[in-house]
A and B are shown apart, each in its own frame.
Chain A
Amino acid sequence: MWINMGPQHPMTHGLWNLRVRIEGEIIEEVDPEMGYLHRGIEKISEDRHYNEVITLMDRTCYVAGMSWEHLYIIAAEQALHLEPPERAQFIRTLADELQRIASHLMWYAAFVQDLGLMTPFLYGMRDRDLILDLFQSFTGARMTYEYNRAGGVRNDLPNGFTDRARKVMDWLDARFVEYDQLCLDSDIFHRRCDGLGVLSARDCIDWGVTGPMLRSAGIKRDLRKDRPYAAYDRVEFDVAVADGADVTARYLVRMEEMRQAVRIVRQTLDWLDKHPGPVLAERLPRWLGAPYAPVGREGYLLKRNYPTGRGFSSVEEPHGEAQAYVVNTGGEHPYRVKFRSPVFVNIAAAQKYLPGYRVADIPPIMGSVDVCVGEVDR
């Protein structure tokens, strides 16, 4: 019997369709169907100024907008031959890690909700709100930030931000213990999660699976360490690894990543306290402007002589390794923008890690993948 789990289904956490062929309660075959949320972000980008594309990046993955902004902006800066100031790099690192915590908290909430745990769901959402408050205080928005700019970030952190952020980090440190108590100390949790959705290291590499799913299979690959960007080479942290390759292992990896993210945030806050400075490169091509700023006549002139270039970036997004490719042919808009979504690959591999388990196992397994459909369909 074929069951359509989606496009409107509580398990999907977004808009996609998991077609499942079952024999009794056992899954025989899986056919993930994506594309319900395709907005043509890559194509739209070709018709926008470089800084205007940032707006779209927030909509690419609505729970990790900052990471996607960062991904795009690295590639765009390479293509435009811009170098952001050091302080901006640290602020980006800070924002990235805050976003990682917020995204993982969102994942935690959704995942435990799939298991039927209502209480930790609300705890996760409550604590995510604190991170969103921080975002609001320095970007003005809770989800769609539009904070990065080609050549730096839009504005500096407000007064007293670092102290507020430290307070939140202290609170979160205590909460992580509570989360683990609510999940790992429960026998039923282990019965529902241990040994489910196993995707071995070999299969992860074959299918191109990245991020926490890959690290849960025991492979220590994290772009923040392996190919550092922003200020990641100047902060200390450990790569979270587990070796169960199952749902519990992914839970452990994400939990550890949140703890490490708190560690990184503390270090960046200390650095930012000590090193004031500009957050936007001083010499910027004027036609970049702020989004929606009128482009002056001299701007067009300058643009004509502007060098061409290509930019490629790959960052460790909360869901996995995202990649961006931006081509600058000297025009006002990028000639071509292309993204690689980690979740697209992670979902596609469901054909490998779902069959053989039961229908009731689908929510925990798919929950452990951390699906964000916005970036799958782009």
Chain B
Amino acid sequence: MSGATLYSVSAALSALLLGAVASILPAPVNAWLTSPDVVTGLAVLIFSAILLAASMINTIMLIWFERKMLGRFMDRRGAMHVGYAGLLQNFADGLKLFRKNTFRPREADSLGFYAGPTAYMVTSMILFGVLPISTGWSSGALPLSLLLALAIFSFAPLFIFVSAWSSNNKYSLIGGMRSAAQMIAYEVPILLAVVAVVIVAGSFDLNVIVNEQQNYWFWAPLIVALIVFVAGMLAEMERIPFDLPEAEAELVEGWNTEYGGMLFAFFMLADYVRALIGSILVVLLFLGGWTMPSWVPSVATSFPLAGIFWFMIKTYLVFGLFIWIRASLPRVRTDQLLRVGWNRMIPLALLSIVLAAVVVTVRCLPLVGCVPPLGG
């Protein structure tokens, strides 16, 4: 499979399809259809469709994974009845939500009420186009792809706040404000922790960052940055222990109290999309992405799609850690969360930058190995 990228596959598919269609059409249309512009256009569409399908299926599998894992933690079985071991349960749930009537409170602002969840969903999905899943799975070599991903990731509080405010409900408003405060507060330590990675890798390009980790995953030298990043990601994903914007005990469902049917499904799905993105970012930045260390026998890394395979394994393991945390910790309070964010996380993140500078200067650490020289 070396050489074949997702884009080259879609381009070949596009050329094949258009060629087949063109062969039964009259001359002028025929020529237009096989022109490079049209082929490229369709190739991009196919590329996006494959990416969308793959990411949606992964997101839904992630929900299944969480339900089963939580079930095991809680001495129960989780979803069991739809499909083998409940594999199709989430599809059934999604279908149910899809069939439901979408309603809007009379006093709610319709533009914000409908646009909020949609934009939240869309901005979360766009991230899949930015993140490289494996060699050849990225949409292109973006020199600043990490920065772009984090920029898109931080859109969320805006849309949550808009939809919370426009639902005209006190619980929603409080939840929306909490959510915005929390996400903005944890944006800062996350970015600082990422700076540590960037210092060691020497690039904002996620492909380069992963390649730098070929034999030297960043989690060990940058353990402080990893802790800050994971804690920050928990807050960004609004999962327990940081799920207070939707703390159901006091705020019913927080900012999505007034949402039902497909709009609620949008929020729910986007939350898991963001959880998946968060896990992917942890894997990309700290756990070597799709690479495996050289002591792993080559048989385990050379089969077709091995990169994606290992990448998904790592992603699901990271998400499993999030599930474990969810199963065992209570929820903190807003003021405690913000205090931890500003007073603990940011100093830790700054410390991690210093450590990164030390790592880059010293180059070799006991037990961890040596950093490859910058740019190669």
Q: Tell me which residues across on chain A come within 8 A of B334, comparing CB atoms.
A: 25, 358, 360
B170–A3 CB distance below 8 A: yes
Task: Tell which of B129-137, B206-214, B321-329 binds the partner.
Answer: B321-329
A-B contact count, CB below 8 Å?
76
**Interface membership of B81, Cβ < 8 A:** no
Which of B239-247, B289-297, B351-359 contacts the other chain? B239-247
Closest to A188 in B: B330
Residues of B within 8 A of A122 (CB): 74-76
Identify which of A186, A359, A362 contacts B174 (C-beta below 8 A): A359
- Residues of B within 8 Å of A192, CB to CB, are 330-333
Q: Out of A117, A188, A363, name the residue touching B250 (CB < 8 Å).
A: A363
Note all chain B residues with C-beta closer than 8 A to A189.
Answer: 330
Closest A residue by C-beta to B242: A116
Task: Say whether, besides A118-B70, A363-B250, A112 and B330 are in contact (CB < 8 Å).
Answer: yes
> B residues within 8 A CB of A358?
333-335
Q: Which residue of A lies closest to B71 (CB)?
A: A122
CB neighbours (8 Å) of B240 from chain A are 116, 118
Q: Are B250 and A119 neighbours in the complex by a CB distance under 8 Å?
A: no
Interface residues of A, dominant DSSP: helix
**Count of interface residues, chain A, beta-carbon cutoff 8 Å:** 31
Q: How far is the CA of A9 from the CA of B169 in the complex (A)?
A: 14
Bound form: Cα–Cα A237–B336 in Å: 40
Binary contact track B74-95/A, C-beta < 8 Å → 1, others 0: 1110000000000000000000
- Is A359 a contact of B241 with CB atoms below 8 Å? no
Judging by beta carbons under 8 Å apart, are B326 and A188 in contact?
A: no
CA distance A116 to B243 in the complex (A): 9
* Interfacial residues of chain A within 84-133, with CB under 8 A of chain B in the complex: 112-119, 122-123, 126
- Asked if A44 CB lies within 8 Å of chain B CBs, one says no
Most buried by A among B249, B326, B332, B336: B249
- Could you tell me the distance in whole angstroms from the C-beta of A111 to the nearest C-beta in chain B? 10
Q: Which residue of chain A has the shortest Cβ distance to B329 in the bound complex?
A: A188
Cβ–Cβ contact A117 & B335, under 8 A: no
B73 at the interface (CB under 8 A from A): yes
**B247 to chain A: which residues have CB within 8 Å?**
116, 360, 363
Contacts of B73 in A (CB 8 A): 119
Cα A115 to Cα B326 in complex, Å, equals 12
Q: Tell me the residues in window 327-376 of chain B with beta carbons closer than 8 Å to chain A beta carbons.
A: 327-336
Contacts of A115 in B (CB 8 A): 249, 330-331
**Are A11 and B250 CB-contacts (below 8 A) given A116-B240, A116-B243, A191-B336?**
yes
User: How many whole Å from A347's CB to the nearest CB in chain B?
Assistant: 17
Q: Residues of A contacting B329 with CB < 8 Å?
A: 116-117, 186, 188
User: B249 and A126: CB pair below 8 A?
Assistant: no
In the assembly, what is the distance between CA of A117 and CA of B243, in Å? 12
Find chain A residues with CB under 8 A from B326 CB: 118
Question: Is residue A182 contacting chain B, with contact meaning CB distance below 8 A?
Answer: yes
* Minimal beta-carbon separation of B238 from chain A (angstroms): 12
B335: which A residues are within 8 A, CB to CB? Answer: 25, 358
Q: Is the CB of A116 within 8 A of B252?
A: no
Complex Cα–Cα for A261 and B36 (A) = 81
Given A118-B326, A192-B332, 5 other A-B residues pairs in contact with their CB atoms under 8 A: A9-B252, A115-B249, A116-B249, A186-B329, A191-B333
Interface residues of A (CB under 8 A from B): 1, 3, 5, 9-11, 25, 112-119, 122-123, 126, 182, 186, 188-189, 191-192, 358-363, 367
